Amino acid sequence: MANIILVGAQWGDEGKGKIIDVLTEQTDIVVRTQGGNNAGHTVFVGKRKFVLHLVPSGILRPGKTCVIGNGVVVDPLGLVEELRALRRLKVKVDGNLFISETAHVVLPYHRELDEQREILKGKHRLGTTKRGIGPAYGDKAARTGLRMLDLVRPDAFARKLRIRLKENNGVLKAFGARPLSFAAVHDAYRKAGDALRPHVTNTVVLLHQAMMRGASLLFEGAQGTFLDIDHGTYPYVTSSNTTAGGACTGSGVPPHRIDRVVGVVKAYTTRVGEGPLPTENAEIADLLHGMGREFGATTGRPRRCGWFDAVASRHAAMVNGIDDLAVTNVDGLDTLEMIRVCVAYRVANQQFDYVPGDVDLLSQCEPVYVDFPGWRRPLDKARRWRDLPGRARAYLNAIADLTGARLSMVSVGPARDQTIVR
Ligand code: GDP
Ligand code: IMO
Ligand code: MG
């Protein structure tokens, strides 16, 4: 099997977890390379629902190896809890899950600062998940972060934590927030460090040795292209590179080892948190929320919804090099008489066929739509391409053509078998 990077090609929550779970069957190792427990990837195995935050979704397939790469920021308390929940559900996580020793650690002051900065921003807030992701990546770039190799070395951890708490407690005080106690943080994190120690290793070497033996890798993207720190709708983004390049820097696997990039999109658009969403539409939001769908897997917030944005998906194909497109949640559109697809943006008398980098300009963009007739039939039982009504096939072919990628997978429900592979 090939080495595949899977990315979200919209604003996150495209159904990456489900597609990863399907693709894992044909791979040996699943690797997370960026983000942290801001991610929430939902996978159904039979009737059982799993929501993965830091652990790669591949963990649900017996016999596969999972890696949390160097580019991830790890909240040790969150990870210990996630592992405990998985063990309780009889999912094997020992001996098959490895964590990079150079992955950065999310500490309580990161979470507290995330929250305080959002409060300070008021109506200009980003709508973060409050998991401390921005401040943790900030420390990494400022070269003041603690890494997993520090967490699992008691002396180093105590010494470095004391210094970092001194600075961060000063900042927290300036925000009017309560300073953190060294003893409380130290004890909780030492315990988590002890629990995680058996998993911590040099994952760069592990992955290279596995490739030498012929193993195939599947890179599980978190978030989505327009939440990328460089290519997204800055500042309304997350703090990592969510696009395909992030998979290489976040794992130490070089670009020439990558065979294919799979982009995942929903058949419509969603976004959780603040920032522009050109095709946002209240009617489609009401429809999906009314069906009990589109509530965040990490924070439970209702997701904002809109029509499929082919300007965005084409832009995503450009920055990620998307070869194959997986379209999920097609069944969400089953009842609609008419389905719109955005094919260009317009501002005054200017037209865009790419996503402008200036978020203020993007906020003024009016979508130009092309309308497609709805199929008005439930799709959830379709298992083959030819089971789909002609109108659904026409809609799917059109969004793949507009994106400029091969339509390879279509998902018509959350379950494993509700997947059409072309
Ligand atoms: P991720 O973050 O990209 O992994 O996506 P999430 O798990 O946050 O959100 C996607 C949601 O859509 C989850 O609740 C999935 O179970 C669900 N899902 C994925 N594919 C389909 C599909 O084709 N149809 C339906 N009805 N639900 C789907
Ligand atoms: P998955 O992997 C959707 C959004 C937040 C907020 C912005 C910044 O499940 O697709 P952060 O906490 O990262 O600093 O928040 O990014 N966000 C996501 N939106 N899916 C995600 O992950 C997200 N992770 C972060 O809502 O707008
Ligand atoms: Mg999600």
3-state secondary structure at position 217: strand
3-state secondary structure at position 249: helix
pLDDT for the residue 1:
73
Chain segment 97-156, per-residue pLDDT in tens: 999 999 999 999 999 999 999 999 999 999 999 999 999 999 999 999 999 999 999 999
pLDDT for the residue 299:
84
Q: Which of 316, 342, 317, 312 is nearest to 405 (CA)?
A: 317
pLDDT for the residue 298:
83
pLDDT for the residue 239:
98
Topology of the domain comprising 4-101+199-261: Adenylosuccinate Synthetase; Chain A, domain 1 (3.40.440)
pLDDT for the residue 126:
97
Catalytic-labelled residue, pool 21, 28, 41, 231: 41
Residue whose CA is closest, atom 21 of ligand 2? 223
pLDDT for the residue 328:
98
CB 98 within 8 A of CB 66: yes
Q: Where are the domains of the chain?
A: 4-101+199-261, 104-196, 265-421
Does the domain formed by 265-421 have CATH 2.40.110.10? no
pLDDT for the residue 181:
97
Tell me whether residue 41 is one of the annotated catalytic residues.
yes
3-state secondary structure at position 356: coil
3-state secondary structure at position 357: coil
Topology of the domain comprising 104-196: Adenylosuccinate Synthetase, subunit A; domain 2 (1.10.300)
Gap from CA of 159 to ligand 1 centroid (Å): 43
Dig out the tokens for 249 from the structure: 């820097």
Q: Which of 277, 391, 398, 248 is nearest to 11 (CA)?
A: 277
Q: Which of 380, 375, 377, 414 is nearest to 293 (CA)?
A: 414
- Of all residues in the chain, what percent carry a pLDDT higher than 90? 98
CB 263 within 8 A of CB 9: yes
pTM: 0.98
Our answer on whether the CB atom of 269 is closer than 6 Å to any ligand 1 atom is: no
Sorted by sequence, the CB contacts under 8 Å of residue 407 that are 6+ apart come out as 324, 325, 327, 396, 397, 400, 422
Gap from CA of 38 to ligand 3 centroid (Å): 8
Give residue ranges with CB within 6 A of ligand 2.
8, 12-13, 38-41, 126-129, 131, 133-134, 222-224, 227, 238-239, 272-273, 297
Gap from CA of 240 to ligand 3 centroid (Å): 15
Which ligand 2 atom minimizes the distance to the CA of 131? 12
pLDDT for the residue 287:
95
Query: Which of 18, 295, 381, 388 has most ligand 1 atoms within 8 Å of CB, for mutation?
Result: 18
Regions of the chain short of the pLDDT cut 50:
none
Cα gap 179→169, rounded to integer Å: 5
